[in-house]
Amino acid sequence: MTRERILLAGLALVDEAGLDAVSMRKLARRLGVDPMSLYNHVDGKDALLDGIAEILLAAIPTPPPEADLRGTMSSLAHGFRAAMLDHPRAAPLVLTRRLASMTALAPVEAVLGPLLAAGFPPERAVHGLRAVLAFLTGTLMREVEAAPTFGGSARRLADLSASGLPAVAAAAPYLAVCDHEAEFEFGLRIMLDALGEP
């Protein structure tokens, strides 16, 4: 029994049954061990969930070294999104939990490093980091269905069209559906354009 084996089994449990289904007892049953033996490697459910979040963060690939600032930021954003969408039921652990480990700081370093190297002062680099993270978090929360979305059905389209609100009615065909890929690319382009130069 190792911490890594426990965390991977926990991630598999989340993938199959969702976050609400996770307990140390269920995880022990899955691994065929006594629940108390898990505590030799993981200090309870919160530590387990933090560890699962670390696995997702560690899956974010490093941008190619020859990429310019825009390419680096785009690569990191796409890698972050891919890592979350590989495990959508576990993604809220990264998107909503404050993590204190060094693994949680690796993506922060990966974003701040290129911004500082490009000449951004530290304060502006942090503003850029937080703006991009806010965009990624909001977009991905909607995409993994952890937050409300306007996507829907013919009924939703009819409701929007009949809302009596001129702007909503005009945009109803677009409000009634949500192309997550297109919206991610659109928003990311705006964020990268807004970052501009130091």
CB 86 within 8 A of CB 14: no
Check whether residue 181 and residue 127 sit in a common domain: yes
- Whether 83 and 174 map to the same domain: the answer is yes
Q: Are the beta carbons of 195 and 128 closer than 8 angstroms?
A: yes
Q: Does the pLDDT of residue 196 top 90, yes or no?
A: no
- CATH no. for residue 38? 1.10.10.60
pTM of the full structure? 0.87
Which two structure tokens, joined as six digits, stand for 113? 């490093």
pLDDT at position 152: 60
Tens digits of residue pLDDT in 130-189: 999 999 999 999 888 755 555 567 788 899 999 999 999 999 998 888 889 999 999 999
Give me the mean pLDDT over the 186-193 stretch: 93
Other C-beta atoms lying within 10 Å of the C-beta of residue 131: 13
pLDDT in tens, 89-119: 999 999 988 877 777 788 888 889 999 999 9
129/69 same-domain check: yes
When divided into structural domains, the chain yields a total of: 2
Whether residues 36 and 98 share a domain: the answer is no
The answer as to whether 51 is a domain residue is no
Q: What is the pLDDT of residue 52?
A: 95
* 191 and 98 both lie in a single domain: yes
Count CB neighbours of 171 within 10 A. Answer: 14
Q: Which domain holds residue 166?
A: 56-195
Residues 36 and 60 in one domain: no
For residues 157 and 118, membership in a common domain is answered with yes
Task: Report the alpha-carbon distance of residue 103 to residue 51 in Å, rounded.
Answer: 9
CA distance 81 to 90: 13
Q: Give the per-residue pLDDT at 154.
A: 79
Residues 100 and 35 in one domain: no
37 and 60 share a domain? Answer: no
Q: Where do we find the tokens 């699962």?
A: 52
Q: Residue 50: inside a domain, yes or no?
A: no
Percent of the chain exceeding pLDDT 70 equals: 96
